[in-house]
Amino acid sequence: MKILFVAPEGLPYSKTGGLADVIEALPKALVDLGHSVTVLLPRYRGTRAVAVTAPSLTVPVGGGLRFPGIVEGGSLHGVYFYFVDDPEYFDRDQLYGVAGKDYPDNAERFAEFCGAAIEFCKQIWMPDVIHCHDWQTGLVPVLLRSRYASDTAVQELPVVFSIHNMGYQGSFPREAMAKIGLPESLFAIDALEFYGRLNFLKGALIFSDYLTTVSPTYAREIGTAENGHGLEGVVQGRAGRLTGILNGADYGVWSPERDKVIVSRYSPKDFSGKLACKKNLLEMFGLPPETVAKPVLGIVSRFAGQKGFDLIEQISAELLAEDLAIVALGAGEPRYEKLFRELMRANPAKFSVKIAYDNILAHKIEAGADMFLMPSRYEPCGLNQIYSLKYGTVPVVRATGGLEDTIGAFDASTGRGTGFKFLAYDGRALLGAIQQALSVYRNEPAVWRRIQLNGMAQDFSWQASATEYVKVYEAAWKSRNLNEVTSSNQPRAKSAKMSPVSPLGKGSHGR
């Protein structure tokens, strides 16, 4: 199949979270299965291009037209990368906002990006299916079924939409409808209206042909009031077209036996390199060398309320009274950046933070830490706990979403399990799980090594997940092509028109 990925970020070009890792790894896995994959991203500041593919496209935004270009990034691992080039919208300090606040024109920025993606299909590369990711691409299916509904070139293009985090929805004031040029008819309960506001994610949930999310447990959770963020009724209505596919890990990049940026490689048979990595990690974070004899806990995360940092705040005094060290890497909400800076000032020999997105440091934490903390309030999938397993860095996680699916609680009676888990969203529960892990680390080294080896033996590679995505792509294609065509190079067969699906869950406002 020919598959076009449309995403707001992707390695090695841009990143704020785990989505970027997926956009780097899943297309590679699909190419390995014999499919043709192209990735379309915004051209952010610092993104280098190798050629201009189209000097300008014509994209309606609001009452006027914009003329973004398309530039080519070349091929990586058989995946072709292109970028929507509009410096006014995308040549900025950050991807989505600064100082914890979104850019005020994000609706217009990503409306243009979505329109440009459809024009890319018309003028440059026609796929069999479009795979969209997160709210920033949510208008692609909306535009296909409204603005482009009578355009024979693209009217039958199927869209698979992946929900990486229901907590981020692309919600804007009603006036944004006019700013981005959407007809008022779409501002309705069975379309884009959500409690008086425009909601990109809701539009994607309703107008896409198939939906995926990034773990089986999260697929169930987003249909509940606790984790649906107000859209659980829509999710329930689309349950027949929703599947949870666990994210994978790219072990060509995230493995202590292959890692190109850590100071010493190591394996389940020879752990000596992990000690060298721990020493290097302490040096990079400015912690005393003697800390190497103590347990080191690592954090690599977006600093957001979702990630459970309020629990760390609750127990910080008791946690830092333990004989340990903590290293943290990330950026995000000012509240948590401030919290971590204050903890570092008050405990300079025990706590160190770097406010940044730094891929090299992320690798060093995975390799050098003894434990990895992910006390998330909710976690669609999570990748760092999967990376931690392969590096013999024992995860301490809350049993939610993908954390529940990927980490098995260690059972001393059987010797099975890969980490330590807690269920209640409560600081005491987190502290208990950490103290349990610390006790095993200090007092039972043979048991600790068993937990490490259990984790390193896990296989969350992308091949199985990529195969599941192909099944969804094929179902989406068939849903818009009643007469199956054996070759994707043949003309697309016409199908009966498929109306937007908007079954509204009962007892949920249907929003």
Query: What does the pLDDT look like over 142-152, one tens digit per residue?
Result: 999 999 999 99
CATH 3.40.50.2000 segments of the chain: 2-248+462-480, 272-456
Taking 50 as the threshold, does the pLDDT of residue 264 lie above it? yes
Q: Residue 507's pLDDT band (boundaries 50, 70, 90)?
A: very low
* Region 485-505 average pLDDT: 39
DSSP string, 34-50: T-EEEEEEE--TT---S
**CATH says 2-248+462-480 is which class?**
alpha beta
pTM for the model: 0.85
Provide the phi-psi class of 209: left if phi over 0, else alpha when psi is between -120 and 50, else beta: alpha
Amino acid at the residue 98 = V
Rounded to whole angstroms, how far apart are CA atoms 323 and 345? 17
* Residue 505 confidence (pLDDT): 35
Fold of 272-456: Rossmann fold (3.40.50)
Lowest mean pLDDT among 83-97, 190-204, 405-419, 473-487: 473-487
Pairing of strands 351-355, 325-332: parallel
Q: Strands, DSSP E only, in 151-271?
A: 159-163, 171-172, 193-194, 197-199, 210-213, 242-244
Say if residue 8 is preceded by a cis peptide, omega within 30 of 0: no
Q: Residue 499's pLDDT band (boundaries 50, 70, 90)?
A: very low
* Region 395-402 average pLDDT: 97
Task: Identify which of 23, 25, 80, 7 has the alpha carbon closest to the alpha carbon of residue 50.
Answer: 80
* Per-residue burial over 54-86, b = 16 or more CB atoms within 10 Å of its CB, e = otherwise: beebebbbbeeebebbbbbbeebeebbbbbbbb
Rounded to whole angstroms, how far apart are CA atoms 154 and 510? 30
User: Using CA atoms in the order 173, 178, 179, 183, what is the torsion angle rounded to 10 degrees?
Assistant: 110
Q: Which residue has the tokens 């394996």?
A: 267
Helix axes 427-443, 309-321, angle to 10 degrees: 40
